[in-house]
Structures are given as C-alpha cells and as structure tokens.
C-alpha cells in the first residue's frame, strides 16, 4: 500500500477504499465554501472523478451524454455495502515473475482494502523494501516455495510466526494450489477442499472423473503399461490420439499421434517429462483427438451457482492444422483467443452447463475457474473467410464434417484459478469483471459473499464492450533477444496501432534467450490484445495486421 493510501504512493483526493460513503447535496456544500477550497472539500467526499480529454470540449453536450451512458453501464451493480468494512490480510504464495504480469492483481488487493504479504524465494523482485514496487505489499517473507515435502509446513510456519492476524492465503500457481489449500485446512482458514485441488492438478484423475478408461481413452503409468495394453489382442485404437503428461501446463509435451509408432514415442516423451521433478510423475493420458472448436471458459462460482461465465474461442494450433505423419514442430500452444465466442448460443449454453457439472464433480462449490474444452459434433468449424482469407469460425445449420450426433462437451482440464494474466485483463476490459479481485475475496470466506456477488456482475446488459483478439506472437528464430521491448518498438514505429492495441505483455526482453520454433519449450515472445467496437471481422483484421508487422532483433543480426 502506498504511503498516502493510494496504489501509486501519491495523494488521493477522493475517498479511500473501505471509507464510509454519505449522501450530500453539492449546492448546500458549495455555498458554505469558497473556491477552490470548497471544490476540494467537495471532491474529497466523492467516490471518484473523471477527467475528459480536451477534444471533448469541442462538443461538450454530446460528450457528457456519452459519458453518462458509459457510467450507467459500468456502475450498474451494487457498489455499496451496508455493513462496515475493515482491512484484512492475505498471504500470497509465489509473487509472480514480474510486475508486468501481476500489477492488476496487487492493485485489486489495494482497492479492496486487503494487505498483501508475499511469500517467495530469496531475491524475488518484491523482496527489497526500497524497490519501486514495494508499496504493493505490506511485507515480503523470504521462504522456499518449491513444492516439496516441506512446502505445506513452511506456509504454516510463516502464518503462525507473522506478528499480525492473517485472514486468508492465495496462490494462482497450479502446482502450489493443493499445498496452499492443505495449509489453509490445517490453519482453519477459508478454502475449497485440498482433495479437489489435487484432482485439478492431475489430468488423469480429471479424465477418469468424466468417463472411465475404455476405447480410445487410457490413463497409464508409463510406456511399459502401454506395451501391455497394445499386446492385448482386443485393444484397438482409433487414430488420431492425443498424448499428454498427467501434470503440466501451457500444453507442454502434448502430442497428436496418427499411428502406433507415434503413440509409443509420444508416451515415452510424456512419461519422461516429469520423471525427475520434485513431484515425480510418469503418468500419461491417452485420449481421442476431438476435431471440434476449442474454447476457454472462465467461471465465477459461489455455493454452486454460476455468477459469471465468459467463453472465448481458442483458435486452431499448429497441432490442429497438421496433417498425417510426424511433424516435430507441431504443438498445441495457443495462437489466438477471441472474445466473445462465435459459437451458436445453444452450444455455449451446453458448454456452460457441462463445465459447471465438471467443476462440481471435482469437489468445488465456490471459486474462480479456467476451463479448457472442445465442442464435439459442433455446428461450427474453422475455415478462411471468403472476403479476406483470414481464418475464422463459421456456423452452418448442418456441419457436414461431423456426424449427426448432438453437440457435447469434451473437457480437457479445469484450472482452479483465474486464467492467465493477459486473459484476466481481457475479461476486465470486455466485461468489467476482475477475476483477481474475486479470487482474493473468496479467500476470506463467506463474510465476503456480498462483495463477490457485486464484483461478478458484468457491464449493464452482460455484453462485452469490445470484440477482443489476444494474439500469441510465437518465435520465428532462436537466439539472444536484442530488442529492449519488441512490442513497444512496433508501436513506436506504427503509432496508429495505439488506437486498437489495448494491452500487451512482452515475455522476451533484451538479454533473454528466445527458443526457436523447433524447440520443445513452448515460450512466446509476446501477447498483444487488440480491440474493436465494430465487431469480429475488424478485430481479426487487426490481429492479422499485428502479426504481419511484428518483428524482433536478435544479438548478431
């Protein structure tokens, strides 16, 4: 928290978070004061203020009418509570890699009146009390956050030894979620069951909850078990198949197999991926490849009720587009995510209901969840547009590419946390829903249910204010990054792009190693989010423009 009660460390003229709001008339207040003191006193009792651009003064009446409309959209939720609010304290386990990928989470805590104590490794960027970002946390506790046998106890010891009361613990790191939940259970702090978090971190357990092992689906312990299965005369697989480790992230080590030779090789790779990690695992999931649109679906659940859900189109990956035969560079790393989804409304409703049931089956009742799934037998399919050749999702009354079965949901995974940073920010821009803020409130228990319900309400009408395209800029060559910030360099070179680029996250900066397109490590160079108020067609054209104009320099070039 800043020294003057603001997230930037500067003086705030308006009411601070948790302050009491009282009604008053501007006329009565202003008549007893002289300008400018009277104006400052009046502002000090306000909940906020808006400064219009100078260009708005050219047509002030129209500008104010539009401002009123936009404010009604944004404030159409219960933003006052009748009960008094007090400051609370949350331990945040693993403070994230840098400020660019976490700022809004810490700002959400400040806005909610929550003091953050960060637990992370020595040398973390939030450790130094004199650093420019130190105001974001109340304290930093230097502690090992590797997930090993002592991980849970280290969290418990940190909470018990802290000189002030701790109200909750949060992490958004998949590997750490079960341990953090177990620490909460031992300490008596609010949490979903640690057993539920353990299921979400295990793709094998997740798959078996959906349907038992059978034709085209197996959860096995490694290559030897696969060999035994294949030797059984009654075992026949229908290709293509997907192979992946039971633990992992970012579609790491996920492979598409078209025959038994590729299957055996993929299982060997997937089984070896985490064989020597602290949480040793050799388990592998084999499942059918679903040739249907993939979606990301984000949920806010409270006591089993869906308070908010947004569904995003996850465009085809190189692994989807690859034909038969081994293609080592084909993978399932995201390429483009478009908000909102263009699926038929009936299919979106079906996915929402099915994924909610999957979350409940895993043992959750409340939380923020990021689900990845495909629509089996969808009426929608990807194809280049006839007018500009850009790949897009098309819907027909009858998709001849699939059988006559009804559309259904095929779950890939449930992540019991908000989506990645760039996607969480996209939801804030499009709908006005802050997943980080809601996750923090949920860590404080049922007493915050009223604020959770309020913050889960989207802009008036529930429709996104933009069509957003989140493009993943993948590396085209390997080496040491020479560009200080390739996205900023692109924007500086093409200033007109500032009008439609609303967010970005640069992952590879000067001095970083850039893994090339042939690497098995799935790292992108940057994410860029573009926004269109016109619609999906313009949004995809903007995405295409960014892809065509983005470049970076490597040392020696």
Q: What pLDDT, on the 0 to 100 scale, is given for residue 233?
A: 60
| Measured distance CA(300)–CA(367) in Å, rounded | 6
**Residues 168, 190 contacting (CB under 8 angstroms):** yes
Beta carbons within 10 angstroms of residue 65's beta carbon: 11
Helices 435-442, 103-112: inter-axial angle, 10-degree rounding: 50
Tokens of 164: 């002030």
Question: Which among 130, 132, 142, 131 has a CA at the least distance from the CA of 95?
Answer: 142
| pLDDT (0 to 100) of residue 39 | 67
> 319: closest CA among 261, 399, 257?
257
Task: Evaluate whether 152 touches 179 at the Cβ level (below 8 Å).
Answer: yes
- What's the pLDDT score for residue 7? 43
Locus of tokens 């085809």: 316
Among residues 466, 511, 463, the alpha carbon closest in space to that of 485 is found at 511
- Residue-by-residue DSSP string for 397-464: SS-TTS-SSPPEEEEEEEESS---HHHHHHHHHHH---HHHHHHHHTT-GGGHHHHHHHT--STTS--
Scan for tokens 């190189």, then name that residue.
318
Q: Are 289 and 216 in contact (CB under 8 A)?
A: no
Q: Record the tokens describing residue 435, joined without a space.
A: 């997943």
Separation of alpha carbons 187 and 267, rounded Å:
40
Rounded to 10°, the helix 260-273/223-231 angle is: 150
d(CA 536, CA 528): 16
Containing 161, the helix (H) or strand (E) segment is helix 151-161
Contact 375, 407 (CB under 8 A): yes
Q: How far apart are CA 240 and CA 256, in angstroms?
A: 7
Distance CA 490, CA 410 (A): 39
If you search the block for the tokens 């299965």, which residue do you land on? 229
With a threshold of 0.85, does the pTM exceed it?
A: yes
Residues in a beta bridge with 91 = 117, 169
Angstrom distance (rounded) from CA 557 to CA 371: 41
Can you give the pLDDT at residue 9?
41
Are residues 44 and 33 in contact, defined by beta-carbon separation less than 8 angstroms? no
| Parts of the chain with a pLDDT under 50 | 1-12, 31
Q: Are 293 and 375 in contact (CB under 8 A)?
A: yes
Sign of CA dihedral 121, 124, 128, 133: negative
Report which of 315, 1, 237 is spatially closest to residue 139, judged by C-alpha positions: 1
Q: Do the Cβ atoms of 236 and 278 come closer than 8 Å?
A: no
How many whole angstroms separate alpha carbon 124 and alpha carbon 464?
Answer: 36
pLDDT of residue 332: 84
What does the alpha-carbon distance between residue 262 and residue 265 come to, in Å, rounded to a whole number?
5
Q: 270 and 245 in contact (C-beta within 8 Å)?
A: yes
What kind and span of H or E run contains 40?
helix 37-44
What does the alpha-carbon distance between residue 160 and residue 153 come to, in Å, rounded to a whole number? 10
Q: Determine if the peptide bond prior to 240 is cis (ω within 30°).
A: yes
Beta-carbon contacts of 266 under 8 Å, excluding residues fewer than 6 positions away, are 243, 255, 257
Per-residue CA distances from 191 to 109, 145, 155, 168, 419 (Å):
18, 19, 14, 8, 19
Q: What is the pLDDT of residue 3?
A: 30
Which tens digits make up the pLDDT trace of 83-121?
A: 999 999 999 999 988 888 899 999 999 999 999 999 999
Separation in Å, CA 480 to CA 475, 506, 508: 12, 15, 9
Q: What is the pLDDT of residue 21?
A: 83
CB atoms < 10 A from the CB of 417, how many? 23
| Alpha-carbon gap, residue 54 to 64, rounded angstroms | 13
């Amino acid at each position: 928290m800043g020294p003057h009660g603001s997230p930037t460390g500067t003086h705030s003229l308006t009411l601070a978070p948790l302050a009491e709001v009282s009604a008053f008339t501007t006329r009565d207040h202003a008549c007893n004061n002289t300008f400018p003191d009277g104006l400052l006193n009046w502002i000090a009792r306000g909940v906020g203020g808006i400064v219009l651009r100078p260009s708005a003064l050219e047509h002030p009446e129209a500008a104010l009418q539009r401002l009123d409309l936009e404010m009604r959209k944004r404030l159409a939720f219960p933003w006052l509570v009748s009960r008094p609010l007090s400051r609370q304290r949350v331990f945040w386990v693993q403070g994230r890699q840098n400020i660019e990928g976490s700022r809004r989470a810490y700002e959400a805590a400040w806005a909610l009146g929550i003091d953050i104590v960060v637990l992370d490794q020595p040398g973390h960027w939030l450790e130094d009390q004199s650093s420019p970002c130190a105001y974001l946390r109340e304290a930093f506790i230097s502690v090992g956050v590797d997930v090993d046998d002592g991980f849970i106890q280290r969290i418990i010891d940190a909470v018990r030894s802290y000189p002030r009361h701790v109200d909750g613990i949060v992490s958004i790191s998949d590997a750490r979620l079960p341990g953090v939940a177990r620490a909460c259970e031992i300490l008596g702090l609010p949490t979903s069951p640690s057993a539920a978090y353990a299921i979400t971190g295990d793709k094998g357990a997740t798959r078996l909850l959906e349907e038992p092992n059978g034709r085209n689906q197996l959860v096995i312990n490694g290559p030897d078990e696969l060999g035994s299965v294949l030797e059984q005369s009654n075992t026949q697989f229908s290709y293509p198949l997907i192979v992946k480790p039971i633990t992992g992230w970012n579609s790491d080590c996920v492979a598409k197999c078209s025959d038994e030779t590729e299957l055996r090789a993929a299982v060997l790779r997937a089984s070896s991926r985490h064989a020597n990690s602290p949480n040793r695992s050799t388990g592998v999931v084999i499942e059918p490849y679903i040739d249907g649109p993939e979606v990301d679906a984000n949920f806010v659940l409270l006591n089993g009720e869906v308070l908010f859900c947004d569904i995003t189109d996850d465009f085809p990956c190189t692994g989807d587009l690859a034909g038969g035969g081994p293609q080592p560079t084909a993978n399932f790393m995201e390429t483009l995510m478009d908000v909102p989804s263009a699926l038929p409304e009936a299919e979106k409703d079906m996915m929402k209901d099915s994924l909610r049931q999957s979350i409940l089956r895993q043992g959750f009742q409340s939380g923020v969840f990021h689900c990845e799934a495909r629509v089996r037998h969808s009426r929608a399919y990807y194809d280049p547009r006839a007018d500009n050749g850009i790949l897009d999702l098309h819907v027909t009354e009858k998709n001849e590419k699939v059988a006559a079965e009804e559309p259904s949901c095929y779950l890939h995974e449930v992540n019991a946390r908000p989506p990645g940073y760039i996607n969480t920010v996209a939801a804030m821009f499009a709908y006005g829903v802050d997943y980080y803020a809601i996750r923090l409130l949920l860590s404080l228990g049922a007493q915050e249910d009223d604020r959770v319900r309020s913050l889960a309400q989207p802009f008036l009408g529930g429709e996104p204010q933009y069509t957003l395209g989140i493009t993943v800029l993948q590396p085209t060559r390997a080496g040491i990054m020479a560009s200080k910030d390739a996205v900023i360099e692109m924007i500086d070179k093409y200033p007109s792009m500032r009008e439609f680029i609303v967010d970005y996250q640069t992952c590879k900066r000067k001095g970083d190693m850039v893994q090339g397109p042939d690497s098995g490590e799935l790292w992108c160079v940057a994410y860029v989010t573009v926004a269109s108020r016109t619609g999906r067609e313009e949004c995809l054209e903007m995405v295409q423009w960014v892809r065509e104009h983005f470049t970076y320099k490597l040392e020696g070039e």
